[in-house]
C-alpha cells in the first residue's frame, strides 16, 4: 500500500524552540508547531475516545453536537509567543490544512462558539477540556481557559489517507494578563471502518436483484478522491460479470454513490466517473456488452444512512447495481 505522509508546510521563517520542550515531548508527524512555540504538556494513549465539537452551543452552553473520535490519541499543549495573536495563529493553521487537502469540519471563535456574540464562551471550552477524561491530569496542568476571552478559537479538521483517517482539534487560548498564548492539538488516528466483508457471488447477486431490484456493493474500491479501481476490487467485479453472463437478458444501472464530504459538484462528478470506470472494467475485462450497462452518478443525494459519523459515511460510499428494463 502506498504510504501517505502528511507534514505541514512551515508557517514562518523562525526558530522552533525545541530545547525548551518538556521532557519526552515531541511534535506529531501530522503537523508542525507554530514557530517559536514550546511544548508545556504532552500526553499520548494507544487508544482513547474523544468528543469533539461539530456545532456551537446555545447561549453559554456546551457544544450542541459532538463527534466521538476513536483511536490513537496524542495531546500536545504549546506555549506560543505573546507577540502573535490567536487570529494570526489560527489563520496559519487554516492555510496549512488547506494546502495538504484537509477538510475543516467545524470552527468557531469567542462567544460564537456558544451560538451568541457574548464576550465570554467558558461553557463551550470548559465542557470539552475542563475534565480529566482526556488526560487523567488535573485541569490546571493541562489546558485551562483562564480567560473568558472573545479571541479564543476552535477548529476540527479531518485528513483521510490510505492507511488512516486523522482528526485534528486545535484550540487557542490567547494571551491575557499574566497568562501566555496557548495552543492545544488533539490528534486522533482512526482506522477507517472495514467494508466489503460480506463476499458476493453470482447467486447472491441474482437473489438480491430478483427480490429488491438493487444491491449495494462495498467490495469495489477506489483511490481516495479518484475513479481508479483498486486491484482488490476484482473479486467482486468478477462476480458481477458471472451474474451478467449467466443472465444475458438482464440490464443494469451502475450507480456510483459518495458520502457528503467535499463539494457537491465534485462528488456528483466523482460518482459518475466511478460508475463509468466500473462499466469500462466489465466491458474490457469480461466482454460484457456495453449496451447492457448504464452508468450513473448519484453523488451524496441518496445516502443509506447519516453522514454525521464515519460509520455512516463508509456505508454511503458504494456502487449499486439496479435492474432496468
pLDDT in tens, the chain (325 residues): 333 344 444 443 333 444 489 888 999 988 889 999 999 888 888 888 888 888 887 766 667 688 888 889 998 989 998 889 889 999 999 998 888 778 899 998 877 777 666 655 556 776 666 554 565 454 444 455 544 567 888 999 998 876 788 999 999 888 776 778 889 899 999 876 565 555 789 999 999 999 999 999 999 999 878 999 999 899 999 999 999 999 999 999 999 999 998 889 999 999 999 999 999 999 999 999 999 999 999 999 999 988 887 778 888 999 999 999 9
Query: In CATH, which superfamily holds the domain spanning 202-324?
Result: OmpA-like domain (3.30.1330.60)
Please, are residues 250 and 262 in contact by the beta-carbon 8 Å criterion? no
Round to whole Å and give the CA distance between 315 and 193. 9
pLDDT at res. 138: 45
State whether residue 168 is helix, strand or coil.
strand
Cα 185 to its chain centre, rounded Å, is: 16
Round to whole Å and give the CA distance between 58 and 103. 25
pLDDT at res. 7: 41
Q: What radius of gyration do the chain's Cα atoms show?
A: 24
pLDDT at res. 316: 92
Give the cell for residue 298: 448519484
pLDDT at res. 194: 61
Residue-wise burial string across 177-205, b where 16 or more C-beta atoms lie within 10 A, e elsewhere: eebbbbbbbbbbbbebeeebeeebebeeb
**Does 202-324 match 18-190 at the fold level?**
no
The answer to pTM > 0.75 is: no
Query: What is 29-93 written as a DSSP string?
Result: TT-PPPTT-EEEEEEEEEEEEEEEEEEEESTT--EEEEEEEEEEEEEEEEEE-TTS-HHHHHHHH
pLDDT at res. 290: 97
Round to whole Å and give the CA distance between 64 and 128. 12
154: β partners: 108, 171
Please, are residues 167 and 69 in contact by the beta-carbon 8 Å criterion? yes
242: β partners: none
For residue 33, count CB atoms less than 10 angstroms from its CB and return exposed for 0-12, middle for 13-18, buried for 19 or more: buried
Round to whole Å and give the CA distance between 242 and 178. 72
Overall fold of domain 18-190: Protein Transport Mog1p; Chain A (3.40.1000)
Please, are residues 84 and 145 in contact by the beta-carbon 8 Å criterion? no
Task: Name the nearest CA neighbour of 48 among 26, 29, 13, 75.
Answer: 75
Residue 37 makes CB contacts below 8 A (sequence gap 6+) with 16, 17, 78, 79, 80, 81, 183
pLDDT at res. 196: 55
Amino acid at each position: 500500500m502506498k504510504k501517505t505522509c502528511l507534514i505541514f508546510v512551515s508557517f514562518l521563517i523562525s526558530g522552533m524552540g525545541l530545547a525548551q520542550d518538556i521532557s519526552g515531548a515531541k511534535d506529531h508527524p501530522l503537523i508542525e508547531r507554530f514557530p517559536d512555540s514550546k511544548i508545556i504538556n504532552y500526553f499520548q494513549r494507544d487508544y482513547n475516545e474523544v468528543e469533539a465539537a461539530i456545532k456551537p452551543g446555545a447561549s453559554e452552553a456546551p457544544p450542541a453536537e459532538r463527534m466521538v473520535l476513536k483511536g490513537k490519541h496524542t495531546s500536545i499543549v504549546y506555549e506560543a509567543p505573546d507577540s502573535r495573536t490567536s487570529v494570526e495563529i489560527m489563520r496559519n493553521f487554516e492555510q496549512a490544512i488547506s494546502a495538504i487537502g484537509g477538510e475543516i469540519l467545524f470552527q468557531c471563535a469567542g462567544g460564537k462558539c456558544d451560538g451568541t456574540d457574548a464576550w465570554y464562551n467558558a461553557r463551550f471550552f470548559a465542557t470539552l477540556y475542563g475534565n480529566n477524561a482526556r488526560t487523567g491530569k488535573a485541569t490546571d496542568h493541562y489546558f485551562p481557559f483562564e480567560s473568558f476571552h472573545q479571541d479564543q478559537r476552535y477548529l476540527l479538521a479531518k485528513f483521510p489517507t490510505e492507511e488512516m483517517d486523522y482528526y485534528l482539534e486545535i484550540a487557542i487560548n490567547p494571551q491575557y494578563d499574566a497568562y501566555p498564548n496557548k495552543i492545544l492539538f488533539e490528534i486522533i488516528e482512526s482506522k477507517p471502518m472495514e467494508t466489503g466483508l460480506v463476499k458476493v457471488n453470482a447467486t447472491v447477486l441474482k437473489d438480491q436483484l430478483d427480490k429488491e431490484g438493487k444491491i449495494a456493493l462495498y467490495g469495489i474500491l477506489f483511490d481516495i478522491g479518484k475513479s481508479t479501481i483498486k486491484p482488490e476490487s476484482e473479486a467482486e467485479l468478477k462476480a458481477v460479470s458471472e451474474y451478467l453472463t449467466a443472465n444475458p437478458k438482464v440490464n443494469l444501472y451502475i450507480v456510483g454513490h459518495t458520502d457528503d464530504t467535499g463539494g457537491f459538484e465534485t462528488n456528483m462528478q466523482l460518482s459518475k466517473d466511478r460508475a463509468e470506470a466500473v462499466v469500462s472494467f466489465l466491458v474490457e475485462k469480461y466482454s460484457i456488452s456495453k449496451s447492457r450497462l448504464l452508468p450513473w452518478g448519484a453523488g451524496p443525494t441518496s445516502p443509506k444512512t447519516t453522514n454525521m459519523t464515519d460509520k455512516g459515511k463508509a456505508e454511503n460510499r458504494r456502487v449499486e447495481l439496479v435492474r432496468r428494463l
